[in-house]
Amino acid sequence: MSVQETRRAIKPVSPLREAAQMFCRNRPAIFGTVLLSLIVAAVFYGTFISGADPYEIVWAPQAFPGEAENIPLGTDYMGRDILTGLLKGGGPTIAVGLSAALITVVIGISVGAMAGYFGGWADNALMRFTEFFQVLPALLFAMVLVTLFSPTLTTIAIAIGIVSWPQTARLTRAEFLRIRNLEYVTAARAVGAGNNRIIWRVILPNALPPLIVSATLTIGVAILFEAGLSFLGLGDPNTMSWGLMIGANRSYLLDAWWPVTFPGLAIFLTVLAVSLIGDGLNDAFNPKLRQR
């Protein structure tokens, strides 16, 4: 009694692979990926291979890029090599970005998932709590946290995480609200799945694409945040980071543009790469575009 199939059956492609294909066809996203790979490679080199000390004074202060052979990007107000600073400073910058994004995602998903899945008063309470964090301008709040608890990379990452999770929580909640009413969730319950299984194994994987996109973008936001704090002088002075370079060289801007411009560019390119990838993922996961 089996149904006769169309002879030219549709080739089986897993949704992930399909998304990957979409992604690979997205030129800006590929550009972003290549860019990010280059940046990460450079930062990796700087962090683990190059032995140079970013704090070492190697030449006269504020030497113009290329003024001497070994200082292609010039030196800063102390005579420290900017290229070394960029290579060494990328690690902490990206690390802060990643760990802040991780904190954001962990808090955001937990809160959002609980609120969205259980609904009712749990949702109400959690969302009120979230709103609480949302009405405070994030940078201001982060500044307060960092100053009060002294600026180290850890506190900075935590502060950024603390101020940015609400958005992820809202997104997660919205996705959970949407998905929990879909029939396959009811179906899972009908075959005896418990709350835990439904939250983590059924809903979360389906809510993941927008969350991945948002997490990717959060990395960018966190990097910008770190830079903003450093710019205001609230960075960790014992760890070279791109934001710190900008903040420290800021008052010498009029005399030397390069110590500010290059780290700024580095941040810009990193965030750009990350958001291009985020956009690419968004397009790749977006079912609307996939239907066609």
Partner 1 sequence: HAQDIEPGGSVVVVSTQAPRHLNPAVQSGIATAVPGTQIFASLLKYDENWQPQPYLAESWDVAEDGLSVTITLVEGATFHDGEPITSEDVRFSIMTVRDNHPFQTMFEPVSDVETPDERTAVIKLSKPHPALLLAMSGALLPIIPEHVYGDGQDVQVHPANSAPVGSGPFRLVEFDPGRQITLERYEDFFIEGRPYLDRIVIRIVSDPSSMVLALEAGEADILPFLTASQDIRRLESGEGLAVTNRGYEGIGAINWLAFNTNKAPLDDIRVRQAIAYAIDRDFIVNALHRGVSAPQRGPIVESNPLFNENVEAYDLDLEKATALLDEAGHAPDANGTRFTLTVDYLPGTGEQQQNIAEYLRSQLPKIGIAVEVRASPDFPTWSQRISSFDFDLTMDMVFNWGDPVIGVHRTYLSSNIREGVIWSNTQQYSNDRVDELLEEAAVENDPERRKALYDEFQTIVTDELPVYNINLIPYHTAYDERLGNMPEGIWGLMQSMDEVYWIEQP
Partner 2 sequence: MSASTKPLLEVRDLAVRFELPKAGLFAPKRHFHAVRGVSFAVPQGRTLGIVGESGSGKTTTAMAAIRLRPADGGQVLLDGRDILKLTQDELRRARRDFQIVFQDPYSSLNPRERVGSIVREPLDLMKVGEPGEERNERVRELFSLVGLRDDQIALFPHQFSGGQRQRVSIARALATNPRLVVCDEPVSALDVAIQAQILNLLRRLQDELGLSYLFISHDLGVVQFICDEIAVMYLGRIVEYAPRADLFRTPRHPYTASLLAAAPSLSRRKSAGYRRVSAVRGDPPSPFNIPPGCAFASRCPNAQTRCREEEPVLRQFGEGRVACHFPLD
Partner 3 sequence: MSEPLLKVDDLRVEFDTRHGRVTALDGVSFDLMPAETLGIVGESGCGKSITALSLMGLIPSPPGHVTGGRIEFEGNDIAAMTKRRQRQMRGHDIAMIFQEPMTSLNPVFTIGDQIAEAILLHQDVSRGEARNRSIELLKTVGMPEAERRARAFPHELSGGMRQRVMIAMAISCRPRILIADEPTTALDVTVQAQIFELMRGIQEEFGVAIMLITHDMGAIAEMADRVAVMYAGRIIEEGDADEILDNPLHPYTRGLIGCIPLLGKEARDDGRPPKLAEIPGVVPPLHLLGQGCSFADRCPLVHDRCHREKPLLTGSTHCVACHATQMEAA
Question: What is the binding site for partner 2 (CB under 8 A)?
Answer: 1-3, 5, 10, 12-15, 182-184, 186-194, 197, 202, 205-206
Residues 7-36 that bind partner 3 (CB under 8 A): 7-8, 10
Q: Which residue has the tokens 């190697």?
A: 58
Q: Which one, 53 or 131, has the nearer CB to partner 1? A: 53
Give the single-character DSSP code of 75: B
- Residue number, 87 or 273, with CB nearest to partner 1: 87
User: Tokens 């760990």 identify what position?
Assistant: 99
C-alpha 159/C-alpha 143 separation (Å) is 8
Q: Using the CB atoms, write b or e for 137-160: b if 16+ within 10 Å.
A: ebbebbbebbeeeebebebbbbbb
Q: Considering only residues 89-118, where is the footprint of partner 1 by CB under 8 A?
A: none
Q: How far, CA to CA in Å, does 151 sit from each of 36, 180, 236, 267?
A: 27, 41, 5, 20
Please give the DSSP secondary-structure letter assigned to residue 198.
I
Taking the complex as a whole, how short is the minimal distance between the CB of residue 237 and partner 2, in angstroms? 46
Question: Measured between alpha carbons, how far is 74 from 66 in angstroms, rounded to an integer?
Answer: 6
Tokens representing 102? 């991780």
- Residue 81, strand partner residues: 75
Site size for partner 1 (CB under 8 A): 27
Residue 119 interacts, among partner 3, partner 2, partner 1, none and using kind-specific CB cut-offs from 5 to 8 Å, with none
Tell whether residue 53 is a contact of partner 1 (CB under 8 A).
yes
Give min distance, CB of 5 to partner 3, in A. Answer: 7
Number of helices (H) and strands (E) in the chain: give both, helices first: 12, 0
Question: CB-wise, 55 or 184, nearer to partner 2?
Answer: 184
Bridge partners of 80, per DSSP, are 57
**Could you give the CA distance from residue 14 to residue 135 in angstroms, rounded to a whole number?**
42
Write down the least CB distance from residue 3 to partner 3, Å.
6
Shortest distance (Å) from residue 288 CB to partner 3: 13
Q: Which of partner 3, partner 1, partner 2, none sits in contact with 128, Cβ below 5 to 8 A by type? A: none
Question: Applying CB under 8 A, does 49 fall inside the site for partner 3?
Answer: no
- Chain residues that interact with partner 3, rule: CB under 8 A: 3-8, 10, 292
- Chain residues that interact with partner 1, rule: CB under 8 A: 53, 55-57, 60-62, 77-79, 146-147, 150-151, 233-234, 236-238, 248, 250-256
